[in-house]
């Protein structure tokens, strides 16, 4: 059962969960719960707006079936809106609580809840009888009563109608709307505290023109049908809606905030409070609310300073009102304040900035106002202030006025003069509309804006000056006036609604744009059909296209604009005269275009630029372009068919695209020397031109620059031309002579740049290159004269010039490129100069040549260079051409011989075998390989030359080499005959080096010595030469060192390496030998053995120079006196008998590197023992051992001292009865004193 109840609840059904609790939903995110008579609305969001239960199709809340049980309603803070009709006619409801967060209460939400006795609205409340949008960031908007709600709020009505239990109510601060009839018929409501501190302009159901919202009629008041007795306005309340307390007949006590600035019409009508007031002007705080009673005599009213507003209709029908003074503090004046005040003639207006309750004011339109004065604090003359005041003739504005509002003086039919404030910035729309008598108008220099129709209908206005400061003029601002003369000085002015602007009338005949003007507004002059004369100021820099095109009667123009860029074809074709000011620097693009009636013009000396199409398609007959002009831009004089003379200034450096195109009467033109570029179609279709001289500075001639100049006969091309479009001279069919000086032009691909009509071409002396394809396919060319400095004839330069019979090649020409003379079938002979280095592919193919002599300077040929020459019989090539080019003489059917300097070489090695036996060597050398012998090589050769030639001499250039190397020896052969010529047939030979044998001599050294300096033996020098001719001697080396083992049998080999020689190659033989003999050695035995005694034991010391061990031996028979002992390689001589012994030192070498040493013999004498040693006192013994002295058997307590031989005390000890060892620092003689005995010892 529990699960079932939850399921029903999920579908929003009203299901009983027990005796005391019911639940349900009443909006997205909003739910209700009823417990113990209290209905709680909770959640987040808006309650559903329900409908009037009095109708059968009503949408009722789901708790409605429990309405009789509901005594209290709690609206929690998450609920933003209480739905309409939510608690309609809940008779048992006694209390309602709105938590903080609730914002609006819908229409009739608590209608007829008579049990409610108290209402406490939270500070979050915004709308009572209506709905507030929960989006706090939305723009404040209100849909008025009956219009639904889509904005921030919408207003409705009767939220608490008929709540008879209410006795007082507080409308809290922050509420922005209380709907009409909200508390209607709350018959016990006696007291209201209205604390709406800043009741916004969108808080009411109807709106007046100033933005205040009024309730209007009595029935619309939120308190209609109540019996209020007391109303208190909170301390911050500044506005009271109209009709708020209308008809509260028992209301006698009202307390105002002291800050009230606005009170709407009928706010207190039919209240006891108002009825008890005396007659006269009624003020509520800072608001002039009403004038009670009627004036009976002429009356002047001065509204108190500090007054902020005047309520609607305040002085209506006061026929005795003659004068009004309006305070400076006034900010709002209601509708029809002076309606029916027919005697009002004077107004002193001091309000600084005031608005009216209707759209365009007109508060005095139904009065007799004839004069109005403005106070010194007035900043704006309000919209419609004097509209319709036909008796006003003059208006003067104080310096404080900065703005004249919309329709402020419209329809002032008697107004003749206006004195504007010197600080005026704006004259708004219709400000002086239909002021027909206004004939003089001086606009101040401070003026920035003139509104739509501001002076429209001012038919008396004939002259006008627009000041510099104006930046905006509205549509039809001066339309339908009598303007004939207009001076326009506005610097940068915009015409509002410019695409169809009628700011100025068609009556204007003279128009001047002053020097301050920078921009002419778009369509400003579109209606000036009667304009005859125009002046444009010097600083105008921008004007719309076709600016004056509708001015069909415009005849004269004075143009002073210094540097305008583009005028956009501004004038109608009626213009016959245009004068340029002395300071004009640029004539704009299109300025005079298509002015067929313009036949002459004088350009000022100040002029620097003429914009594109500036004079195109005019009737000009002549023009003189001043010297300061740098360029003729595109289309400037295009289509000027009557132009016969055009003199261009000397500083012009560029002639633009189509600049003189179709100037068909132009017979002569001098292009200035500074011109560096002539653009496409610049002189196209100048059909009367007969000659053209391109100046030396011109670099570029673009496409069709001179095309269709059908009478052009002579053309001179300047030196610096580097680019010519191939169509530049199209259809110049009369061209006969060309004088070519272009030094940098290299051609335009394979296309020619000249027509095929001219018969003669002369190249200037400074020209070095004949351009590619220059005369290609010109079947009329018969004469070519080339300058002496031409170095290159470009590809196809004269290709297919079939009428060309003779050509003299310049003496400096070095290269004739591909197809240069191809197809010149009339050309029978050509003399190649000695400067020629290269002949390109098919350069002379298919000509009429019969023989050829190709000089030695030619380094290479292109393929097919002379192919298809059907009449060619023989060729002499004065220098070997190396690898044979493909098809060089292909299809030369009559060719009999080709003479080459070294024909056999090329026949065999370089592809000339194609010609078989037609190859004839001019010089054939006998041999080319030699071995160095110190003499010149054999250069004998055989000579073979064509018939008609004889060999004259053979000359070797430079020295003939004799040394080793590969040589090409220049050899010149001179021949005489039909043409004397020389050929260079180099003798190519190789001289190989001669073999030279080298060996190292054998030698010997002693073991331990350094290697000796080795000697070399040579065999093979040519006669008269020796080792001194070698640039670097061979080097002998041996692996033996100072420590190498002695070897006298096999020796050590001596190797050879290195060596350099110009004319020899080394052959090393041997090798030689280095032998090493053993070294001698000696014994050194310096030991002193002269003081030997019986009992001595002496260590023997001797050394050999080889470092080998020295041994000792006693003579035979000496063993009775002494004995040798050996231990660790040390020999010790022990003496035990008195007498003489012979002791010999030996060294028998065990090292092959040394010989045996000579023995050393010593005769030794052994004496009787002396001192302790002899007597052996107390059995004491003293020994000399290695590095120390040993004392043995000495009595305890005796002193023991050891001295060096020179008396230095080394030890001083007292014997303790044991053996004693005393160290000594080195070998030598020592004295030992033991007690009173002394012993001499030698210690090693």
CB under 8 Å to 1049, separation ≥6 — which residues? none
Alpha carbon separation from 523 to 482, 489, 520, 543 (Å, rounded):
19, 16, 9, 10
Nearest one of 144, 99, 152, 142 to 124, comparing CA atoms: 99
Nearest one of 796, 716, 730 to 760, comparing CA atoms: 716
1083-1167 and 1180-1243 agree in CATH topology? yes
Alpha carbon separation from 572 to 563, 634, 968 (Å, rounded):
22, 22, 86
Give the single-character DSSP code of 569. Answer: S
CB under 8 Å to 225, separation ≥6 — which residues? 181, 184, 185, 186, 187
By three-state DSSP, how is residue 645 classified? strand
**Domain coordinates of the chain in residue numbers?**
1-75, 103-276, 852-985, 994-1077, 1083-1167, 1180-1243
Give the single-character DSSP code of 435. Answer: -
Nearest one of 488, 429, 432, 430 to 460, comparing CA atoms: 432
Give the single-character DSSP code of 66. Answer: G
Partners of residue 1057 on adjacent β-strands = 1035
Go through 238-276 and write b for each residue having 16 or more CB atoms within 10 A of its CB, e for each that does not.
Answer: bbbbbbbbbbbeebbebebbebbbbbbbbbbbebeebee
Return the CA Rg of the chain: 68
Residue 869 · residue 893 · CB < 8 Å? no
Cα–Cα distance, 154 to 146 (Å, whole number): 9
Cα–Cα distance, 137 to 55 (Å, whole number): 37
Sheet strands (E) in 913-1046: 919-921, 923-925, 929-931, 941-943, 949-956, 965-969, 971-977, 981-984, 987-992, 994-1000, 1003-1006, 1016-1019, 1035-1038
Nearest one of 205, 215, 128 to 169, comparing CA atoms: 128
Residue 291 φ then ψ, to 5°: -115, 110
Q: What is the CATH number of domain 1083-1167?
A: 2.60.40.1080
- Dihedral Cα 466, 467, 471, 472, nearest 10 deg: -30
Q: Which pLDDT value is given to residue 199?
A: 56
| Placement of tokens 């031989």 in the chain | 1205
Q: What is the CATH number of domain 1180-1243?
A: 2.60.40.10
Q: 792-795, long-range: CB within 8 Å, 24+ apart, which pairs?
A: 792/768, 792/816, 792/817, 793/817, 793/820, 794/746, 794/747, 794/769, 794/770, 794/820, 795/747, 795/750, 795/819, 795/820, 795/840
Q: Which pLDDT value is given to residue 1118?
A: 86
Which pair of tokens denotes residue 969? 């020896």
Size of the chain, expressed as the number of residues it contains:
1244
Cα–Cα distance, 730 to 736 (Å, whole number): 14
Nearest one of 368, 336, 365, 330 to 349, comparing CA atoms: 330
Question: pTM for the complete prediction?
Answer: 0.56
Cα–Cα distance, 582 to 566 (Å, whole number): 20
| Residue 697 burial class via C-beta count within 10 angstroms: exposed 0-12, middle 13-18, buried 19 and up | middle
CB under 8 Å to 1086, separation ≥6 — which residues? none
Q: What share of the chain is helix, strand, coil (3-state, %, to 5)?
A: 5, 30, 65
Mean pLDDT per 10-residue section of the chain, whose length is 1244 residues: 33 37 92 96 95 85 94 96 95 96 95 95 91 54 34 74 96 89 95 81 35 64 94 94 92 95 92 94 96 94 96 93 96 92 94 82 88 95 93 94 95 94 95 94 95 94 95 92 95 76 89 94 89 95 88 94 86 92 92 92 93 93 94 94 94 95 94 95 96 95 95 95 92 95 85 89 95 93 94 94 94 95 94 92 94 87 93 85 80 89 63 78 80 84 80 86 87 80 80 92 91 91 90 92 88 91 90 90 90 89 88 84 79 88 85 88 84 41 72 83 82 84 80 78 64
| Placement of tokens 């003369």 in the chain | 485
Alpha carbon separation from 390 to 386, 393, 433, 992, 1126 (Å, rounded):
9, 8, 12, 131, 164
Which pair of tokens denotes residue 498? 């410019």
Residue 409 · residue 415 · CB < 8 Å? yes
Residue 267 · residue 313 · CB < 8 Å? no
Residue 578 · residue 598 · CB < 8 Å? yes
Q: How far is CA 904 from the centre of its chain?
A: 68
Give the single-character DSSP code of 1062. Answer: S
């Amino acid at each position: 059962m529990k699960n079932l109840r939850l399921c029903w609840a999920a579908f929003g059904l009203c299901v009983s969960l027990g005796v005391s609790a019911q639940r349900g939903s009443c909006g997205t995110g909003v739910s209700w719960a009823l417990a113990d008579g209290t209905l709680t609305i909770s959640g987040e969001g808006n309650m559903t707006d329900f409908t009037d239960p009095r109708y059968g199709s009503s949408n009722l809340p789901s708790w409605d079936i429990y309405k009789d049980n509901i005594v209290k309603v709690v609206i929690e803070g998450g609920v933003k809106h209480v739905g309409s009709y939510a608690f309609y006619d809940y008779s048992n409801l006694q209390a309602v609580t709105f938590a903080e967060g609730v914002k609006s209460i819908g229409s009739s939400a608590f209608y007829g809840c008579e049990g409610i006795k108290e209402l406490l609205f939270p500070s979050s409340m915004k709308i009572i009888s209506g709905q507030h949008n929960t989006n706090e960031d939305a723009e404040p908007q209100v849909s008025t009563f009956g219009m639904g709600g889509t904005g921030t709020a919408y207003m409705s009505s009767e939220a608490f109608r008929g709540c008879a239990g209410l006795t007082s109510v507080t409308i809290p601060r922050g509420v922005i709307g209380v709907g009409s009839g909200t508390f209607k018929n709350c018959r016990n409501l006696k007291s209201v505290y209205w604390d709406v501190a800043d009741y916004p302009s969108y808080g009411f159901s109807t709106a007046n023109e100033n933005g205040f919202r009024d309730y209007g009629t009595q029935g619309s008041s939120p308190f209609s049908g109540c019996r209020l007795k007391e109303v208190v306005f909170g301390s911050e309340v500044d506005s009271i809606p109209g009709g708020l307390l209308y008809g509260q007949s028992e209301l006698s006590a009202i307390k105002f905030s002291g800050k009230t600035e606005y009170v709407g019409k009928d706010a207190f009508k039919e209240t006891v409070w108002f009825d008890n007031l005396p007659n006269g002007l009624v003020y509520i705080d800072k608001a002039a609310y009403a004038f009670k009673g009627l004036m009976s005599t002429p009356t002047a009213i001065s509204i108190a300073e500090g007054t902020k507003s005047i309520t609607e209709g305040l002085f209506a029908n006061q026929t005795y009102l003659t004068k009004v003074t309006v305070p400076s503090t006034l900010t709002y004046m209601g509708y029809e304040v002076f309606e029916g005040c027919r005697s009002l003639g004077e107004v002193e207006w001091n309000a600084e900035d005031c608005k009216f309750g209707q759209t365009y004011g007109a508060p005095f339109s139904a009065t007799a106002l004839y004069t109005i004065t403005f106070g010194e604090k007035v900043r704006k003359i309000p919209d419609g202030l004097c509209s319709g005041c036909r008796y006003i003739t003059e208006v003067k504005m104080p310096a404080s006025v900065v703005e004249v509002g919309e329709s402020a003086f419209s329809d002032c039919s008697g107004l003749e003069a206006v004195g504007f404030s010197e600080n005026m910035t704006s004259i708004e729309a219709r400000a002086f509309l239909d002021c027909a008598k206004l004939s003089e108008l001086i606009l101040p220099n401070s003026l920035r804006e003139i509104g739509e129709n501001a002076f429209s209908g001012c038919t008396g206005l004939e002259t006008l000056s627009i000041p510099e400061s104006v930046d905006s003029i509205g549509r039809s601002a001066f339309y339908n006036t009598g303007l004939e003369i207009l001076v326009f000085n506005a610097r940068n002015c915009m015409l509002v609604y410019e695409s169809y602007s009628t700011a100025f009338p068609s009556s204007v005949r003279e128009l001047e744009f002053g020097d301050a003007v920078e921009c002419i507004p778009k369509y400003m002059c579109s209606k000036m059909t009667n304009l005859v004369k125009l002046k444009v100021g010097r600083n105008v820099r921008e004007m719309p296209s076709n600016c004056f095109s509708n001015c069909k009667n415009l005849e004269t123009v004075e143009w002073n604009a210094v540097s305008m860029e583009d005028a956009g074809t501004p004038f109608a074709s009626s213009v016959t005269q245009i004068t340029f000011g002395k300071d004009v620097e640029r004539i704009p693009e299109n300025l005079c275009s298509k002015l067929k009636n313009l036949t002459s013009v004088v350009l000022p000396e100040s002029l620097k630029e003429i914009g594109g199409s500036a004079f195109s398609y005019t009737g000009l007959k002549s023009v003189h372009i001043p010297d300061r002009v740098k360029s003729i831009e595109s289309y400037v004089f295009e289509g000027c068919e009557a132009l016969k003379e055009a003199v261009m200034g000397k500083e012009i450096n560029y002639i633009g695209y189509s600049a003189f195109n179709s100037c068909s009467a132009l017979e002569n033109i001098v292009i200035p020397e500074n011109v560096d570029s002539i653009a496409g179609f610049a002189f196209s279709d100048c059909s009367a031109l007969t000659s053209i001289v391109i100046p030396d500075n011109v670099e570029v001639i673009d496409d069709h620059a001179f095309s269709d100049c059908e009478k052009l006969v002579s053309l001179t091309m300047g030196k610096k031309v580097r680019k010519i479009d191939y169509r530049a001279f199209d259809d110049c069919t009369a061209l006969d002579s060309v004088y070519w000086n272009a030094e940098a032009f290299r051609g335009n691909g394979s296309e020619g740049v000249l027509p095929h009509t001219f018969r003669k071409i002369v190249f200037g002396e400074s020209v070095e290159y004949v351009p590619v394809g220059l005369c290609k396919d010109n079947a009329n060319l018969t004469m070519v004269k080339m300058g002496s400095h031409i170095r290159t004839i470009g590809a196809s330069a004269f290709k297919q010039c079939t009428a060309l019979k003779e050509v003299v090649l310049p003496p400096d020409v070095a290269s004739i490129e591909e197809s240069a003379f191809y197809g010149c079938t009339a050309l029978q002979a050509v003399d190649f100069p000695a400067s020629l280095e290269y002949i390109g592919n098919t350069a002379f193919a298919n000509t009429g040549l019969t023989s050829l002599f190709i000089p030695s300077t030619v380094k290479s040929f292109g393929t097919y260079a002379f192919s298809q020459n059907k009449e060619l019989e023989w060729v002499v090539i004065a220098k070997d051409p190396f690898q044979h080019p493909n098809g060089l003489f292909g299809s030369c059917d009559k060719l009999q011989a080709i003479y080459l300097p070294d024909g056999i070489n090329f026949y065999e090695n370089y592809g000339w075998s194609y010609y078989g036996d037609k190859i004839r060597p001019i010089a054939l050398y006998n041999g080319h390989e030699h071995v160095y012998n110190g003499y010149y090589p054999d250069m004998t050769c055989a000579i073979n030359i064509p018939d008609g030639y004889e060999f004259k001499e053979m000359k070797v250039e430079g020295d003939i080499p004799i040394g080793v190397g590969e040589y090409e020896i220049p050899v010149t052969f001179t021949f005489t005959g039909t043409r004397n010529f020389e050929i260079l047939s180099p003798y190519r030979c190789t001289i190989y080096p001669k073999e030279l044998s080298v060996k190292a001599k054998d030698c010997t050294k002693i073991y331990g010595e350094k290697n000796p300096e080795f000697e070399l033996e040579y065999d093979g020098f040519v006669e008269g030469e020796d080792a001194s001719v070698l640039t670097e001697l061979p080097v002998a080396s041996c692996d033996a060192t100072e420590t190498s083992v002695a070897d006298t049998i096999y020796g050590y080999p001596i190797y050879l390496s290195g060596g350099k020689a110009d004319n020899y190659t080394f052959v090393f033989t041997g090798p030689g030998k280095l032998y090493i003999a053993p070294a001698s050695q000696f014994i050194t035995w310096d030991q002193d053995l002269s003081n030997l005694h019986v009992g001595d034991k002496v260590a023997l010391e001797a050394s050999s120079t080889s470092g080998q061990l020295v041994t000792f031996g006693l003579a035979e028979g000496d063993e009775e006196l002494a004995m040798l002992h050996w231990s660790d390689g040390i020999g010790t001589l022990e003496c035990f008998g008195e007498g003489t012994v012979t002791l010999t030192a030996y060294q028998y070498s065990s090292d092959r590197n040394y010989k045996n040493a000579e023995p050393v013999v010593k005769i030794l004498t052994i004496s009787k023992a002396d001192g302790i040693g002899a007597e052996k006192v107390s059995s004491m013994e003293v020994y000399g051992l290695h590095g120390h002295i040993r004392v043995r058997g000495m009595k305890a307590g005796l002193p023991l001292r050891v001295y060096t031989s020179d008396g230095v005390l080394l030890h001083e000890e007292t014997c303790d009865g044991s053996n004693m060892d005393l160290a000594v620092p080195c070998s030598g003689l020592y004295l030992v004193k033991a007690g009173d005995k002394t012993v001499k010892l030698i210690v090693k």
